[in-house]
Structure formats: structure tokens, C-alpha cells
Amino acid sequence: MLPDMATPVFPQAIIARKRDGFVLTQEEIADFVRGVTNGEWADYQASALLMAVYLRGMTPAETSCLTDAMMRSGAIADLSSVPGIKVDKHSTGGVGDKVSLILAPLVAACGTPVPMISGRGLGHTGGTLDKLESIPGFRVDLPLAAYTAQIRRIGVAMIGQTAEIAPADRRLYALRDVTATVESIPLICASIMSKKLAEGIDALVLDVTFGRGAFMKEKSRAKELAAAMVAIGRAMEKPTRALLTSMDQPLGRTVGDAVEVIESIEALKGRGPADVMEVTFALGVQMLQLGKAASSCTEARARLEKAIADGSALAKFRELIAAQGGDPAVIDDYTRLPHAPLVRELTSPAAGCVTDVDPMAVARAALLLGAGRANVSAAVDHAVGITGLVKIGETVPHGGRLCTIHANDGTLLTAALKLLEPAFAVGRDPVEPPVLIDELIE
């Protein structure tokens, strides 16, 4: 008699069940992720299931199972040797969002370890890794052992996704990009949370943006995404909180790579734009509370402000740069960063109050200049970008500067200028700037 064998589960059977609206079992989801990771599932089969998920959705339990399976498709960092509660932050992205560069060393300077694995820019959103790599010598490709040792030594590391972390996500992310399934909330949740939970964190704070410059344009969709990720964190026994933040104009006054590094350093020196610091402090307050480094919002805010004022946050960023092979002298000498030779100001045709700054037009101009990438294989020009952006609610004189363009190519500069001209609106009546921090979900 032949021994009992488990009935094989064929990909087409799992695809058909999700296509027909059934809830997938933990075993079926695990089989899918395992097959994606080891190549047993062909791209066309994985793509078919992704589309079925996009059309049929997933229950919270299915999404948690998918996240867990993707997290376990590779290594999970062991940070148990690092004292304290390890807390990370993740943003769904936007235009001019350089908060991570400020927040990671700031929170670490307050005594809460920050293990951060970030991504590269794609489309209209900039990438933390691209910005860090504009610092000469800065390495984002640390292996997990070096990442762990650095967090133990200085309390912070900022790296890219390694080959060891959630390998299933890399393949699925590429397939989602070419199968028009990127917007699926269960798939977004599993992609983000599998990587974050594999970092070895104890808690997580999410910055979920909404508005014209965000991935999620509608607040209701952003809230749905935030609530789903918080639920996954809770299911995984990792305390998770999410802030909904508005992205209806660029964050800060710069968009690019090296130019955003400069603005981040200025922020750590106590000279950051008000909107950037508002978001940074709001997220930092949540991180310190989850890390048990502060018992109240008031105490947490005071600790963050003190770390800026006494220079400890800036010193931590200097230490981080040196630890990852970068040139820490950029903190004192911005000329050591890449800079573009062609500089042109866009000026206002009328005096009045700035009533609008279209974040997508600014993002498209920066992308055209080379500051971002239209596809994953495109190169990034770290030197180019846009600086001196005016903010909604500010007044400008006739001929006053609306922004400054930094380019390496005259033709691209002219084209970017044309994109930017309609991005700004100036009116006679004063307007209030948009509210940035909308809601906390915990």
C-alpha cells in the first residue's frame, strides 16, 4: 500500500477559489507565497492571483496570513541583543517628504532605537535611499549582521531591503507594478508590513498620506489603508499607530535628493520648515511613547525639541553617516554634496497671497530633471531638484521668487520651467494653509 500523501494544491485551484470570491486558507496563502519565492508559481499564475485579489479583496485574516507568509519568506532580523523597544516609522510617500532623514536620528538621540529599512523613489514619490546615497560614500546595502551590529552600537540604521528580507515581496512588487494591481489595499498592507515586521522591530508608527501629492488621493481610502495596517500590527503583537497627514502641497521647500538632504540637516540644526517639523514632531511623539521613552505627548515633544536644541540629534545623524561609510563633513559643508550648475528662478507674475502649489506639477518637474525615476531601472541625478518653494498662505511681491530650479541640462531646465509655471496660483485674498495632521489611528 502506498503511504498517505497530502493532496497537492495546484496554483490554478487557488486562483479559481479567489476568483470565485472564496476566502483562502492559511495553507493556500502559504503555498502561494512559497511558490512565488522558490519559482514554482509562474509569473502568469502569480499575476492571475494578484488580479483576483485586486478584484475580490481579502478579509483581515487573509491579509494577516499573507503578511506573515511574506515576512517568513526570508530572514527576520534578531534585534533581541539591542536594549530597549525598537520602533520604526514608515511613510506611504509624497512630494518633498524627507521626514525619515530627520526623524530617525532625532528619535535615536532620545534613546529609542530606530531600525529603518527604506525604499527607493518611483514615479512622483522620492525615495529615502536615493536621498541618502547623494551623500558621498553612504552605503545603504548593509547585510543584516552589520545592520544589527550598528543598531546595537549607535541606536539607528537606515538601509535598503536586503536579499534576505521578504524575498517574496520583491517578486510580487514587480508583478503588481506591471499588472495594474498596485492600488489593492491588502497587497499594499502585506508588502509594507512584511518588510517592516522582518526588520526586528517591536513597534511601528505609520505616516499615511492623502491628497493630490499622495499615493492615496482620497482620505477615506488612506484611512482604510491605515486601519488595515494597524490591525495587522496588532495581530502580529507589534503595537502600531498611524497618522493621517495631508499632502496637498509639497512638504517643505525642496524636492530632489541632495537638496532634501540639505533641508534635513538644516532641520536638525533647528532651522527646518514649519510643516516638515510639524509632521516630524507628530510622528516622533508617537515613536517615543511606543518606545516607553516618554509617558505623555507633552513629555515626548519636549524631549524631541531638546534633542534639536542641544545638538544631539545632529550629532546622531553625523554618527549615522560615518557608520555607513558616508562623508560626515557634508553637515558643515554643503558643497561636498552634488550640485547642479544651471540655476533658474521662477518668479510671480503678480503680487498677492499664494493660494495653491500643485504638488504633482512640482513632482513631474523634478522627475523630468532627473531627480526621480519613471521605472525601477532608471538612474537618478542626485544634484538636480527644486528649492525655495513658496507655501500656501504666504505673500509674494510682483516678480518675487516662487521656486528655484537646479538642472544639469538646459533643455530639461526649460521644460521643467514650463511645467512649473501653472503649478502656482497667487490671489488677492489671504488663505489659510492646509491642515497637516488629520487623525491618529491606534
Q: What residues act catalytically?
A: 90, 169, 176, 191, 195
Which of helix, strand or coil describes residue 125? strand
Residues 6+ apart with CB under 8 A from 17: 24, 28
**For residue 351, what is its C-alpha cell?**
503680487
- CA angle, residues 392, 397, 400, in degrees to nearest 5: 85
CA distance 396 to 424: 11
Please state the length of the chain. 442
**For residue 220, what is its C-alpha cell?**
477615506
Cα of 410 vs its chain's centroid, Å:
31
Which of helix, strand or coil describes residue 256? strand
**For residue 286, what is its C-alpha cell?**
508617537
Cα of 218 vs its chain's centroid, Å:
18
Q: What radius of gyration do the chain's Cα atoms show?
A: 22
H helix runs in 95-154, sequence order:
99-109, 128-133, 144-154
Nearest to 70 by CA among 230, 204, 191: 191
Longest CA–CA span in the chain (Å) reads 92
CA distance 257 to 129: 9
